[in-house]
Amino acid sequence: MPDTTATTTVQYFRGAAEAGAPRLAGLPGVHRDEPGPTEVREVERYDTDDRRLAAAGITLALYRGDGPPQWRLALPDGDHDEHLRVPLAADAPDPAPVPVEIEELTRGAARDRIVRPVGRARTTRGVTRLLGDGDAVVADVVHDHVTVATLGRSTELVSWTEAAVHPHEGASEELLAELAVRFADDGLEPAEPGVETELDRLLRPAGARRRRAGKKGSSGAALMEYLATQAERLAAEDLRVRRDEPDAVHQLRVASRRMRSALQAFRPLLDVARTEPVVEALRELGRALAPARDAEVLRERILAGLADLPPELRLGRAEAFTTRHFARVEAEARAAVLTELDGPRYAALRGALDALLDEPPLTKAARSLSGLDDGVKRARRRLRKAVEVAVEPGPEQETAVHAARKAGKRLRYATEVAGTKDKRLKRLQTALGEHQDAVVARDALRELGAAAHASGENGFSFGVLLGRDVERAVRIEQELPALWRAARG
């Protein structure tokens, strides 16, 4: 005998607002139905008036009527079903203010705009249980009347009817087929649930800005595309920093530095009167982020160095002392980073970046095809001059090596824009980076050793690492001429 038991997959239907509830009498396998109480559910979407959260891929809503009232925040890099959930305060006014823990995460996207209710979905729900043999539940039939409205200066209203069949064990294919026929008779056709989708449609941003990037295939178009990509990355990393995710400060700083380097390397293609203030603002952002990133790198570097020491050179409680020291330093640095990201200077920078991308500050030179190659050549000459100074021994060599490192980064980012990466530079860039790490670590190790001694701890191991970093920096300085020859090919 064939198995006529249906699957437990929920079936959804949708029709016009005036569609009535389906007839449930005389269904196959159903002895009686049991209507439940009517429920009212509300979803209230929050955003800025110009939909900045939606543009950033962030969804913030307040849910009422489906369990305890709660806020749900969906972030762009998270699973759709994973939300930050915050209970609504019992004494919250109407409209309810955004909770602090959510406001802190959305501040970077909202910037200086107020986040308030911008849309509401109201669902009046009736649920009827279908009972079979022995009053066993074979299915639940849900009937919803839905109204979605925008809030603000103008209102757009959409209403419709939804229904759903939730089969239980014992529901037959015949029953589900008959329900589908009756829904169709009432004007309800198979469709996915539409509340969230309709809210998304009504509350979508005005549209991605139609940004003019110059003639297709031109140097200006490639440059503006690169800047737009890095601006998007900066916005994404802003959110990750606020969530205190690993490596987020570093990646935010990299995005900032890439934009600054591109604006500097390709100055002839740009109206510098407009770009120089942005370059300076990006430089200030990099400076504000530096202490947090440096503390992270130093902690990891020093702890790794201590772990690599043989037991006879690991004296006292150096690891614990290092961990305690940097816990305080990193906490202070993170607080400073968040203060910067919440401040007017950073908000002005984000606005200035939007303005540059909306109205590209391109000169006539940006129309050419050779502008990018010319910029790479200038960056390469700049690196050559910097390295020629850096290879000369003397009291200023350390500073010169650092300048060469910065010139190398500018060249690397310039080649990214032009799509002409030079792998020969990798060893040189790595060595210059290691030199800078050793120089920065020396000062930190000296400070740690002195602090350990002053507190009665043994600072010997810090002295060992300090000596190694001194030797490492000197060795790299001596290797620079050979590294530069290899990089030039």
At 157-186, the pLDDT tens digits run 999 999 999 999 889 999 999 999 999 999
pLDDT at 88 > cutoff 60:
yes
How far the first Cα of the chain sits from its last, in Å, is: 80
Predicted pLDDT of residue 1: 37
pLDDT at 147 > cutoff 50:
yes
pLDDT at 112 > cutoff 90:
no
Q: Residue 220: CB partners within 8 Å, gap ≥ 6? A: 213, 214, 269, 360, 362, 366, 367, 371
pLDDT at 145 > cutoff 50:
yes
- Residue 211 half-sphere exposure, CB side, CA atoms within 13 Å? 23
Average pLDDT, the chain: 92
Q: What is the pLDDT of residues 360-389, one digit of tens each?
A: 999 999 998 889 999 999 999 999 999 999
Q: DSSP assignment of 155-173, as one string?
A: --EEEEEEEEEEE-TT-BH
CATH topology of domain 11-202: Hypothetical Protein Pfu-838710-001 (2.40.320)
Model confidence at 83, pLDDT cuts 50, 70, 90, reads confident
**CA neighbor of 237 nearest in space, from 183, 277, 187, 293:** 293
- Residue 315 half-sphere exposure, CB side, CA atoms within 13 Å? 15
CATH number of 219-488: 1.40.20.10
Q: What is the pLDDT of residues 180-235, one digit of tens each?
A: 999 999 999 999 988 999 999 999 886 555 555 656 779 999 999 999 999 999 99
Predicted pLDDT of residue 420: 87
All CATH 2.40.320 domain ranges of the chain, comma separated, are 11-202
Predicted pLDDT of residue 206: 65
Phi, psi of 295 (to 5 degrees): -65, -40
232 three-class SS:
helix
Residues 78 and 141: beta-carbon distance below 8 Å: no
Over range 286-292, report the average pLDDT: 97
Predicted pLDDT of residue 255: 98
Phi, psi of 364 (to 5 degrees): -60, -30
d(CA 117, CA 94): 10
pLDDT at 421 > cutoff 70:
yes
All CATH 1.40.20.10 domain ranges of the chain, comma separated, are 219-488
**CA neighbor of 446 nearest in space, from 473, 464, 434, 472:** 464
pLDDT at 3 > cutoff 50:
no
**Residues above pLDDT 70, as percent of the chain:** 95
Residues 165 and 9: beta-carbon distance below 8 Å: no
Model confidence at 2, pLDDT cuts 50, 70, 90, reads very low
Q: What is the pLDDT of residues 242-285, one digit of tens each?
A: 999 999 999 999 999 999 999 999 999 999 999 999 999 999 99
Q: Residue 10: CB partners within 8 Å, gap ≥ 6? A: 164, 165, 166, 167
State the residue for tokens 């000062």.
443
pLDDT at 480 > cutoff 80:
yes
